[in-house]
A and B are shown apart, each in its own frame.
Chain A
């Protein structure tokens, strides 16, 4: 160690900043917000977390399908009849009857011609975006896009052009400056998960089409809940037919894990051979696709649950506003209600105070958040009762006063 001339830097030195922030935060005595363990899960809305019975308000389990008896039964049957895993790629030995059935369920759910199931939602964005937009093509996307969208851009070779969040004019101008003859892909989300706000898809998609662009919409946080049939924000705004690719996930309303893309593009099936994040990974276990297919078909009949979830979202949003909290949106737009914290320290203190009250929410902080905000993100479930939402509001009131945020 005496001769340092030949010594390369420790590759971990680049993380010193984040290690320092984390050490300082934990030195203040708060429970680690990113190291919570659920010892037992009682229902879609209740678990034992760090030893306490806790109401879950940060799971994205919007429709509460994780403990649905039909879903559980389908998973058990598949586990018994098809085994614990496929040990193979979808294009080799990893396509079982259940995978095809799950894709059929998605086609029925969206009323579209093609459906392709990926092992996660992250991989669906990664794979589709990086594969369809190639060298010389342009991806025009919202600056607040999810990490999986950005990583899809980074994996591919297209020119990447972001525009200000939900800014129709900024998007229009950028599309107008793309050189003639270049392929164009516009990437949008139905619900932006950090603040829970929705996109003006009707106007944005009209602008995209005016410029001849193809449109991909990530409906991860709206599937099952928003739109008459739960197909998402594009359905609710009457423009689903103009969307070329819908990306979604099984890890929110569907209640398991996996991702997908649905499309009416006549050549869509070729994706199965050219999309590397689809080809070079093992397919989902049979029990997972069986639970997903069952859940998706039940979500088609989820009208009553959707109505109750809207009530919950409105009750929580209205109650928190009345208590004096600053929220991400002035009116409820989705099942996500984001409470804006003054800074990371008080955000972490508030998060911990809520956990001690018996409430779990997501602590979100830069760089995942827009404008470097610290957020306490609440995601509601159709299985939260009206009384539970009132209990949650009481917890927020006590914790908010204890931490002097309200």
Chain B
């Protein structure tokens, strides 16, 4: 799957978690703009992990601040 296809899938997955209908750019932050708390993060990460059959460990999550970071990380991880 190329980066834009990964982006499309994640955009669909994030919808139920984007309660405030924030418009999503690569620079959108999870903690600041989307106001995800730890429980939301867990459910959202689980949805992505299940869709792509990957693990995004807490260590990797710590490096992911923006939507763009996430798409990049998933794009890299699913190729492995």
Q: Contact residues of A with B, CB < 8 Å? A: 138, 143, 153, 159-164, 170, 173-174, 177-178, 367, 371-372
Contacts and interface: CB of A to CB of B under 8 A. Distances in A.
Interface residues of B, number: 15
A177 B51 CA distance: 12
A372 B42 CA distance: 14
B54 to A, nearest CB: 6
A177 B58 contact: no
Contact of B55 (A143, A161, A367): A161
B55 A174 contact: yes
A143 B41 CA distance: 11
Given A173-B50, A174-B49, A177-B49, A143 B42 contact: yes
B58 A138 contact: no
Contact of B58 (A161, A173, A178, A371): A161
B2 interface: no
B80 to A, nearest CB: 8
B37 A178 contact: no
Nearest to B43: A164
Nearest to B80: A179
B59 A170 contact: no
B46 interface: yes
B39 interface: yes
Contacts of B53: 177
B21 interface: no
Contact of A177 (B38, B54, B60): B54
B8 interface: no
Interface in B19-76: 37-39, 42-43, 46, 49-50, 53-55, 57-60
A36 to B, nearest CB: 28
A178 to B, nearest CB: 7
Nearest to A170: B46
Contacts of A159: 55, 57-60
Interface of chain B: mostly helix, strand, loop or mixed = helix
B65 to A, nearest CB: 17
A160 B57 contact: yes
A164 B37 contact: no
Given A138-B57, A153-B58, A161-B58, 13 more contacts: A143-B42, A159-B58, A159-B60, A160-B58, A162-B58, A164-B42, A174-B55, A177-B49, A177-B53, A177-B55, A178-B55, A371-B39, A372-B37
Contacts of A163: 46
B67 to A, nearest CB: 21
Contact of A372 (B39, B49, B57): B39
Interface of B: 37-39, 42-43, 46, 49-50, 53-55, 57-60
A206 B58 CA distance: 25
A133 B18 CA distance: 35
Given A174-B49, A177-B49, A161 B57 contact: yes
Contacts of A178: 55
A33 B57 CA distance: 36
A21 to B, nearest CB: 15
Contacts of B43: 164
A161 B42 CA distance: 10
Contact of A160 (B38, B39, B50, B59): B59
A160 B49 CA distance: 14
Contacts of A153: 58
Nearest to B50: A173
B78 to A, nearest CB: 11
B40 to A, nearest CB: 11
Nearest to B45: A162
Contacts of B49: 173-174, 177
Contacts of A372: 37, 39
Contacts of A164: 42-43, 46
Contacts of A367: 38
A161 B49 CA distance: 11
A135 B39 CA distance: 26
13 contacts: A138-B57, A159-B55, A159-B57, A159-B59, A161-B57, A161-B58, A170-B46, A173-B50, A174-B49, A177-B49, A178-B55, A372-B37, A372-B39
